[in-house]
Structure formats: C-alpha cells, structure tokens
Structure 1
Amino acid sequence: MVNAGISVSAAVSFMENEACESENLGFTRKDAYDHMSRLKKHTKVENGDVTVLIKYFINTANKENYFYWNVQLDDDDRNVMFDLAFMSDETESSFEWLFTAFLDSMNEKQPQAIFSDQCQAIMNAIETVFPHSHHRLYEFEATWKYMIDTYNLDDHRWLNGMYRLREKWATAFSSGRFSAGLLATSRSETTNMTGM
C-alpha cells in the first residue's frame, strides 16, 4: 500500500479496520513504521526489478480477491524469493521443469509429501522428479464439495461443523500416522490414543 502512495498511517488504519481490531493484526503501528524505516535504508530493495515486482504484486492484490503474496526480509533487510513460478502452460514437461527447479533450490532434497489434484500432467511429473515423495490427492476435498453441491447442503449446521473438524476424523488426513487401525467413534467421551 505504501508503495502505491498510501501513507503508513493510512495503510495501518485500513488494515485495523479490515481486521476489526488492531489486536487482530499481529503487529503494532510502531512495528509498521520501523519496518518501513528499515526498507528505506536498504537501496537494493528500493531499486531494480524487485521493486517493480513488488509493485505489481501490490496492484494485483488490490484488484484480485484471490491473489495472495507476502514478502519477508532477512537480517540484512534483503528480499528472498522462494518457490514462485509463472507458467505459460500446464504440460507434463512444464511441471517437470518446475519441480526440477524446486529440487535445485532445495539442494536436491525431495519433499516428504506432495498434495495435488488429479491432473495427469502433474501426477506424471511428480512420479518422474519426486520418486521418493509421498504423493497424495485432494480426494477428500473434491468428494466433500461434490456431496455439498449435489445435495444443496451449504447451510447444514452439523456438516459445516464436521468439516471444520475434518483433520480430526477424516482418514484422508491421517493416513501417514500410526493409529493401530482405530477409527473415530461417535461417543464423545471415548478417546483412542496411539503412539504413546
């Protein structure tokens, strides 16, 4: 916001209003001024391609509701970009390039788990580039959405509550954890504990 010409005070006031209370922001007005002061001292952030990219992200975030970006400075107040890719297509070779670039940035350390949709190009590229990673599909989310949409259950109170607790009962979220075959029970006073 500040790079778009909005004062620090006005930007913080806007964010406080959006968060309903200043306590919900996670930083104080002084933190914002200190952060901007550190940014101004570092000419590498103020000049060149990084500034252009940050301004582009700010403008896009202001226009697009579903666009999210974030930036963090290191101890020397420098920007570090991590895992950002602009792809012109979604072919298997493009995903292989993306995943290979990721491996290169991580010193060839493969991720332990990868979640994706059922895009065949992504699945093939994962199998090629990350053969030792555990690849899981977003099956639960797709099935849940299908059920809610098909039976018009958007406002179903109990189902909405269960969805918020899905990681505690849906096996899709616990397949990699030891449970000795125990499943959730409908009796709230019963608790099954494993791995102790």
Structure 2
Amino acid sequence: MRASGIGVSRAYHFLENEADSRQNIGFIRKDVFKKLYKESRNMSKLKHGDANKLMEILTNKGMSDPSCFWKVKLSDDGRLQNLFFRDTRCLIDYQHFGDVLSVDATYKTNKYDFICVSLVGINHHRMNVMFGLGFLLNEKVESYEWLFSMFLQAMYHKEPSIVFSDQDMAVMNAVDSTFRHASHRLCQWHINKNAVKHFGKLNKDPCFKNQWFRYMNGCESEHEFDMTWSRMIDEHDLSENRWLF
C-alpha cells in the first residue's frame, strides 16, 4: 500500500478493519512509522553515498584481481539490499579447506545496521581462513538463501561436507534448502552458551561444569564422546533432563 502511494495512517486504518480490531494486528501505528523511517533513512544513505563508493571499490578490485567475484541484490527501486564478495585468496583456500564451512551472522554494521555474514573455514594450521563475506539488509530466509546461492556460484558449485551455524532458524532453514549434500551442525560455541540455561542447579556444581567442558572439548572420537557423555548422565542422575539426555 505504501508503494502504491497510500499514506501510513490510511493503510493502518485499513488493517484495523480487515483484522476487526487494533489488538489483532500485532503492532501499533507508531511501530510502522519507526520501521519505515529506519528503512528510508538507511536505504537513502546507501543509495546516494556509501553504496556507490562500495561499487567503485569492488569494480577496481575486479580489475586488479580477475578472479574476484562479487554480486549485489537491489530492491525494485535500485537500492542495495544484499552483497556477497570473495577474492582469489578465498577461492584458493576454499579449494583446499572447503570441506567444513562455518556461517557467522552475529555481527552488524554500526551505521546502517546491515547483517555482516562471514563464511569461514579452518586450514591445516588450525587457523581461520575467510571463504567469503556477505552483507544482508534483513535476516529473512530468502536473504540467506540468496547469499548461500551466490557463495556456491562463486565456488563453482562445490558444496562443503559440513556447515556449522548457530540456532537461528532463518540460517538453519537456508542452509538445509541451499546446501543439498552437506551435513548441518550447530556451532559448539553457541551450544555451550545455550547450555547454561538448561543446567538448572548444576550451574552451582563446579565438578559438573568441569566435566561438561572437558567432554565437549577433550573427546577425540565419537565413541569416546558417547562413553563419557553417558558417564556424566549417570553420575549426575540426568536421565530426566530431556535437553541433556
């Protein structure tokens, strides 16, 4: 309705009538004004300033690095929505170490509130290597699917064997729909961070917490992990804790 020239107040009044009451809409008129103001502020700045400079930088990068790959997604009115970039170094590292891919979407840019998504792996020295970088305007499944599709295109459609991510549902759904042959696993750091919510009284038990972190980090095989995990469950009588058992 906004794109058709209908004012916010009239559009909101229409929603009130369609939903029978304001309480059924799920947000108030003030929320609409705040969201539209934020979008127009960010998008207008991107259109007239930094986005054009970014395109210039990427174009120059492509001239000095012929294997450089970058793609952008624009809105209907030509404004920047999503961006993906990788250089030749990213491609070479992925060719050698691309069996495991970690998706980190925990950072945002300060000025425009874009989601910064780093696509990272680990080399033979156990050091992080960058496979690519994305900037997304929102955290919808469609945005992540676009990013992962561009990543596969940039890597000549070579899929990783394993993809690690946090428990964000949009990321998880996009991973499952885009990487058809990869196994999806949750990042251990996020598991550890989330686990304390399920420990209950065990948060005050230093012996248990030491065991937990030792089991999560010290096992070198699946068999060893299964054995030590079962021992922890038995020792602390955790068979009723459905999250742990």
Q: TM-score, normalised by structure 1?
A: 0.41
- Which structure dedicates a bigger proportion of its chain to strand? 2
TM score, norm. by length of structure 2: 0.34
